[in-house]
Chain A
Amino acid sequence: MAAPSLPGSGLLKGLGLTFKTMLSPATTAQYPHVKPELPPRTRGVIALMEENCTVCMLCAKECPDWCIYIDSSKETVPVEGGRTRTRNVLDRFAIDFALCMYCGICVEVCPFDALFWSPEFEYAEYDIRELTHEKERLREWMDTVPPPPPLEEGAVPPAEIEAGIAAARKEAEEAVAKAKAAAEGGGEPEAEGPQIDEELFARLVAEGTPERAARAKAKAAFVKAQKRREREQGGDQ
């Protein structure tokens, strides 16, 4: 063991560093007074878009802790003039955040985009039972979900997201063009309301089809025709 040498340069260097640090401003975040800015991908709390949920149970099955509780029931929906259909109704959707390990598998496996991550984190409770968030509470977290961040240079966005973005952009452009046209006053205002294939509608009604069904079929035919037109136009270009 080397005998301790007299306080030397090494000691002074360290003292200099601590003194310098004392004079520079501290990095402490004054948390409850100043909220942290968290990135959009932060796994803070899971939000549920109830409308999108089809009760496929994938999330509950894939959860490594089994902390997602789902109850559902079948409901018959009478369809006028057709067979009655059954659909799944979500009775309960709860996540026990006391068990959750925040891995994000449920968000990832959800095929219908019903689950999202939100960076909110201030939901500590005095009672552990309160940490089980029911679907109403999970729905409220939806309001805090940020849009996904843009990707780094050189990244290839996933196909379904790219398609979604393209569709949204197209829609927005059309809306802008329409608004522009309306503002210029050049074009006549387009007819609002359901656009249907009037010819088909008249024929079907004449054949004795109920009006409601006839209208639906006529509308479908109209949309189909419109799509065909659009495709042809696209092909021209």
Chain B
Amino acid sequence: MSETLPHEGGVILPGGPGEAMSVEIRDGGLVTQEMNLNIGPQHPATHGVLRVVIDLDGEVIVRARPVIGYMHRGFEKLAEARDYRQIIALVNRHDWLSAFCNELGVALAVERLMELEVPERAQWIRVLMSEWNRILNHLMFIGSFGLELGAITPVFFSFREREDIQSFLESATGGRLHFTYTRVGGLKEDLPAGFLDASRQMAATMRSRNDEYRQLLLGNEIFQARTKGVGALAPDVAVDYGVTGPTLHATGVAEDVRLSEPYCVYDELDVKVPVRTNGDSYDRFVVLLDRIDASLDLIEQVHEGLPAGPVNRKMPKTVKAPEGATYVRTENPLGQGGYYLVSDGGKTPWRMRMRTPSFSNIQMVPELLEGSLLSDMIAILGSVYFVVGDVDR
């Protein structure tokens, strides 16, 4: 019955103009045709090149299927041909928003295989940098979430803060996005003079700015209407899919590697994990804001407790991990990062496997999308935190 009419001079798009309207009456109601729509791989709301194929009934999503792999760069295979120093420079590039946390994970894995003791001061500085990186990452998502809901101001505010934070991180690491500051056995070099002062000052500024985001968005009735109850994720579904990080914490599960399997000096610090219970877009966003405050608490503890001493160990010219395998978990800004390192004793890993939080988060997305509105899809995609480079690696 759906007889397509020939269209003048052009391609006939299924379900679009040029196709015959197919109307069917069934059970006393009008049956309409579903429309297939490709969101991405180039679309303003997909943080990179994610593609979501959706079937729409009016504005309601019937089916959703994320298609990944547009940014696959073969990191894991590449790592087998690169020595550990080079891997550290490469690993902060797949998830460009949590560069430091990623390089830390790799360094920890190599150090564990080599049974290295990292100097105390280096471990404290690693925590400091991880937490600033976490804030940088969350700021990005706070800004872009507002933008996706149509509020164009938060992104400028959050980038203002990001710029300030990046500037002083640059003074220590030399990089603004790809820090490459960690080394196996410590850090590249110690902090420059004045860094801690800048860090203290920024922490204070960041606290007041965090309140501004709350003021701008959280109380806003339109914002609440767009996010409350949208894309509610049940804790058991989240656990089944391996969802971690802020997306998991919003459902009420307080699993955090910094508590359950502390690395660096997290066991000496008072780590707070903000948790909400509804698991909807609103809660995911609130968790993000609360995590910034929690990270600032940690940063202030590091300012107090930073010991003196070297940040580096004397290392051989070529780092060789002894034969064996290890799996290191870290709490990356987007969730749990896992680094499975198998070494045959050579100067490159035999196998390097990464578990990335974005991948687990994105595979859960169809659960939330099916049955929601097209506009809600944007609110859901913006609040299930993922970076496409981290999904595809």
Measuring CB to CB, which residues of chain A are less than 8 angstroms from any residue of chain B? 1-11, 13-14, 16-18, 21, 27, 38-43, 62, 64, 101-105, 108, 117, 149-158
Contact = CB atoms under 8 A, between A and B. Distances in A.
B269 to A, nearest CB: 18
A13 B157 CA distance: 16
A27 B163 CA distance: 10
Give me the 8 closest cross-chain CB pairs, A-B, nearest first: A10-B219, A154-B308, A103-B89, A39-B171, A155-B190, A149-B192, A152-B191, A41-B174
Contacts, number: 124
A8 B309 CA distance: 55
Interface of B: 82-83, 85-86, 89-90, 93, 121, 153, 157, 160, 163, 167, 170-175, 178, 180, 188-196, 212, 215-225, 228-229, 306-312
A34 to B, nearest CB: 14
Contacts of B225: 1-5
Contacts of A3: 225
A153 B167 CA distance: 20
A62 B86 contact: yes
29 contacts: A1-B229, A4-B221, A9-B219, A10-B224, A16-B215, A18-B216, A21-B153, A27-B160, A39-B170, A39-B171, A41-B170, A41-B172, A41-B174, A101-B93, A103-B89, A103-B178, A104-B174, A105-B86, A150-B192, A151-B192, A152-B190, A152-B191, A152-B192, A152-B196, A153-B308, A155-B308, A156-B309, A156-B311, A158-B312
B190 A104 contact: no
Contacts of B191: 151-152, 155
A14 B220 contact: yes
Nearest to A149: B192
Contact of A105 (B85, B173, B190, B308): B85
B221 A5 contact: yes
Nearest to A111: B317
A156 B190 contact: yes
Contact of A14 (B93, B188, B217, B229): B217
A158 B310 CA distance: 8
B174 A43 contact: yes
A227 to B, nearest CB: 28
A14 B192 contact: no
Given A41-B173, A157-B190, 17 more contacts: A2-B229, A10-B223, A39-B167, A41-B192, A62-B83, A62-B86, A102-B178, A105-B85, A117-B174, A149-B192, A149-B193, A152-B194, A152-B195, A154-B121, A155-B121, A156-B310, A158-B312
Contacts of B193: 149-153
